[in-house]
Amino acid sequence: MSAPSTTPRAAATNSVWSQLEPLLPQVSKPIQYVGGELGAVTKDWDAATVRWALMYPDAYEVGLPNQGVQILYEVLNELPDTLAERTYAVWPDLETLMRKHGVPQFTVDAHRAVRGFDVFGISFSTELGYTNMLTAIDLAGIPMLAADRTDADPVIVAGGHAAFNPEPIADFIDAAVLGDGEEAVLEITAIVREWKAEGSPGGRDELLLRLARTESVYVPRFYDVDYLPDGRIQRVVPNRADVPFRVHKRTTMDLDAWPYPKKPLVPLAETVHERYAVEIFRGCTRGCRFCQAGMITRPVRERSITTVAQMVREGLEFSGFSEVGLLSLSSADHSEIGDMCSGLAQQYEGTNVSLSLPSTRVDAFNIDLAQELSRNGRRTGLTFAPEGGSERIRKVINKMVSKEDLIRTVVTAYTNGWRQVKLYFMCGLPTETDEDVLEIAEMAHEVIRAGRAATGSKDIRCTVSIGGFVPKPHTPFQWAAMDRPEVIDHRLKILKQAINADRSLGRAIGYRYHDGEPSLIEGLLSRGDRRVGSVIRKVWENGGRFDGWSEHFSYQRWVDAAAETLPAFGVDLDWYTTRQRDELEVLPWDHLDSGLDKDWLWQDWQDSFSEFEQDDCRWTPCFDCGVCPSMDTEIQIGPTGKKLLPLTPLGGNGMKVPSGHSHSHP
């Protein structure tokens, strides 16, 4: 053991609040560092055997509503001998003061020093949070490189969608978990508990080895990467005999057994989402070729209508939220979505509770659903995602929706009282041309024209929102070349001109876009290997913080850092981003198993060039993507045959039971 393990552990029992509090009047939004929200848990440090610090590596307003962290926080704190506290990225103004006054990275729950915890879990939904992770590690007083840590330091575990390729941060993390976290955190807790009970034999190395042996926790230090002279990877192999060649993702199969969050956190400061969110199903088999979330979360697992109803009732009673978000990758695809929405709308009729489906497929939206969602008179905005402007590009990306479908759906919304819809597209997709992008303007014009004709009103609007395409690991587009930022920016410019070419229509169309520069950097991070860690560190040393925020992001800082560090390895920024990979190249994440068969992904990539549309395997025979047999899982969908939601007589939220309905659970 290289350092006495008692020091930070003992120190963490003491709150750093007395040092922190005097600094808060000097920073913006001090309330985000105070803690004590409804739903927050503070447990006795000494009564806990295993202690977790959980982080969403962004500001409080983005991190607090994060569903993944909230679920793990609750699951862990339900264990009698386990304690979990939360920490978020601190804004640069507080970071400066913390460095000046020697205040370490702290949790918001009991203001304990992060370094004193056993496990420091960080959930990444985007790679642009990597620099914030480095800030937190450094402020915590934990050595930046995993290789330099001792038994006195927590084990740093990465999770979330970005953890499906953790290679760019392999030098900084101790482990990564692929897939669903609910059961994974319990397994990790059990391993840490047992290791500590035995007196921590073999120190940190032995603990990491026990985690690696599960075959579902990836420990980068136990794998060596060899490179070919041209910079490509030759192979990734374990450097010890008892470590698996491949690490598998975790899949929580019975969502009804995990009805979290039961006690959602209610923020003290304004946050990006203030609602009770229920994940109504996990996974998606629509097969959009660009969509990492849809690919890595297979198979589809639905939550039953009765569990959803119970979660909504208890969640609203606990939190007092007035909006319910029915979350999933494509919420209108739930096999019982109609009954779910009408049942909930009926249950909360006459109250201030509104329902929203944050992600709605164009072809899965109908009048009935629209009307159920707006029954309480509150019409939250509708967002549809055609993704591609032309029919051709939608076939390339396997987003099967026609222009007619879109116009019909949007007109339905307008005629039912909506005045504002948002259309989401991507720019920079494989094989895309200027013409494909210009068709977005044509589509937007038609939406406004058809909406005006159907409603007889000019008071309707549509917002066109454009995101940059980023090729992601474990998708058919993982081999794709990215377009250079100047190509993307040119297309965004001509699209804006085309939208405004007709003043009468253009006036009703809002236009929002992300330029090509952040997307290119996200592309570097999403498909990078271990050599990219040197770029991340250099950017961080040069002041990189909050790279997901346009006002903090500096493209030049990333370009300069890449130019400074990558040539030593014989590669450069373009090599990682604008280069198309070939079939036989070893990809940095090939040893990390998402269940998807690489040959199937390659075939789907080839199919995209012939514009072949792949069906949804929920309703058609299996087409061998590999997930169900390799992961020993299966698609789980309804219907359950239960139509009635479990309605309760006047509960704590003062809601009446609609007449003619049973009080009992069906």
Q: Which of 350-354, 489-493, 641-645 has the highest mean pLDDT?
A: 489-493
Transcribe 470-533 into DSSP letters: ---TTSGGGGPPPPPHHHHHHHHHHHHHHHHTSHHHHTTEEEEE--HHHHHHHHHHHS--GGGH
CA distance 182 to 188: 11
| Amino acid 8: pLDDT | 58
Q: Please name the residue that has the structure tokens 């040959």.
A: 599
- The amino acid occupying position 197 is A
User: Angle between the 533-541 and 555-565 helix axes, to the nearest 10 degrees?
Assistant: 130
- The verdict on residue 271 lying in a domain is no
- State yes or no: pLDDT of 644 exceeds 70: no
Transcribe 318-356 into DSSP letters: HH--SEEEEESSSGGGSTTHHHHHHHHHHHTTTSS-EEE
Q: What is the largest CA-CA distance in the chain?
A: 77
Q: What percent of the chain has pLDDT over 70?
A: 92
Domain holding 418, by residue range, is 380-400+414-526+581-610
- The verdict on residue 445 lying in a domain is yes
Q: Strands 461-468, 420-427: parallel, antiparallel or unpaired by DSSP? A: parallel
What are the angstrom distances between the C-alpha of 448 and each of 223, 319, 461, 501, 584? 56, 39, 7, 14, 47
Q: Which tops the pLDDT comparison, 530 or 352?
A: 530
| Amino acid 372: pLDDT | 80
> Among 470, 452, 447, which Cα is nearest to 528's?
470
List, as own/partner pairs, every contact residues 222-225 make where C-beta atoms lie below 8 angstroms and the sequence separation is at least 24, other chains included: 223/591, 225/529, 225/530, 225/588
Transcribe 573-632 into DSSP letters: HHHHHTPPPPTTPBPTTTTEE-S--HHHHHHHHHHHHTTPPPPPTTTS-----SHHHHHT
How confident is the model over 459-476, as a mean pLDDT? 96
> Among 467, 472, 465, 516, which Cα is nearest to 490's?
516
CA distance 654 to 227: 65
The kind and range of the H/E element at 312 are helix 305-319
- State yes or no: pLDDT of 48 exceeds 60: yes
Sequence-distant (≥ 6) Cβ neighbours of residue 532 within 8 angstroms: 167, 168, 524, 525, 576
**Nearest-10 Cα torsion for 222, 472, 249, 80:** 90
346-371, pLDDT tens digit by residue? 899 888 898 887 766 776 666 677 77
313-317, 332-336, 473-477: lowest mean pLDDT where? 332-336
> Among 154, 164, 160, which Cα is nearest to 58's?
160
399-445, pLDDT tens digit by residue? 988 899 899 988 888 888 888 899 999 999 999 999 999 999 999 99
pTM reported for the whole predicted model: 0.93
The helix/strand/coil state of 102 is: coil
- The verdict on residue 184 lying in a domain is yes
CA 17, chain centre distance (Å): 31
Give the residues across from 636 on adjacent strands: 301
Sequence-distant (≥ 6) Cβ neighbours of residue 271 within 8 angstroms: 60, 61, 62, 64, 65
pLDDT band with cut points at 50, 70 and 90 for residue 564: very high
Residue 23 belongs to a domain with what CATH number? 3.40.50.280
Q: Extract the tokens encoding 378.
A: 């509150």
Boundary of a domain, candidates 226, 257, 290: 226
| Amino acid 663: pLDDT | 30
- The amino acid occupying position 288 is C
Q: Which of 239-248, 343-352, 644-653 has the highest mean pLDDT?
A: 239-248
- Residue 590 sits at the vertex; the CA angle it makes with 587 and 591, to the nearest 5 degrees, is 140
- The verdict on residue 473 lying in a domain is yes
| Amino acid 450: pLDDT | 95
CA distance 416 to 13: 57
What are the angstrom distances between the C-alpha of 221 and each of 2, 118, 508, 525? 18, 19, 55, 20
The helix/strand/coil state of 122 is: strand
Specify whether the CB–CB gap between 256 and 303 falls below 8 A: yes
- The verdict on residue 478 lying in a domain is yes
Residue 367 is classified by DSSP as H
Specify whether the CB–CB gap between 275 and 324 falls below 8 A: yes
How confident is the model over 566-592, as a mean pLDDT? 98
What are φ and ψ of residue 50, in 5° steps? -120, 130
Specify whether the CB–CB gap between 139 and 94 falls below 8 A: no
- The amino acid occupying position 502 is D
| Amino acid 359: pLDDT | 64
CA distance 63 to 56: 5
Q: Strands 155-159, 175-177: parallel, antiparallel or unpaired by DSSP? A: parallel
The kind and range of the H/E element at 424 are strand 420-427
Give the residues across from 236 on adjacent strands: 225
- State yes or no: pLDDT of 11 exceeds 90: no
- Dihedral class, residue 457 (left if φ above 0, else alpha if ψ from -120 to 50, else beta): beta
How confident is the model over 317-339, as a mean pLDDT? 90
Transcribe 378-417 into DSSP letters: ----EEEEEESSSHHHHHHTT----HHHHHHHHHHHHHTT
| Amino acid 653: pLDDT | 37
CA distance 664 to 555: 58
Specify whether the CB–CB gap between 516 and 470 falls below 8 A: no
- The verdict on residue 656 lying in a domain is no
Q: Extract the tokens encoding 320.
A: 């007092």
Boundary of a domain, candidates 201, 226, 251: 226
Average pLDDT over the chain, rounded to an integer: 91
- The verdict on residue 639 lying in a domain is no
- The verdict on residue 292 lying in a domain is no
Specify whether the CB–CB gap between 281 and 302 falls below 8 A: yes
**Number of domains, the chain:** 2
119-144, pLDDT tens digit by residue? 999 999 999 999 999 999 999 999 99
Q: Extract the tokens encoding 376.
A: 């309480």
Boundary of a domain, candidates 592, 610, 628: 610
Radius of gyration of the chain (CA): 25
CA distance 124 to 55: 9
How confident is the model over 2-20, as a mean pLDDT? 66
Q: Extract the tokens encoding 227.
A: 């490179």
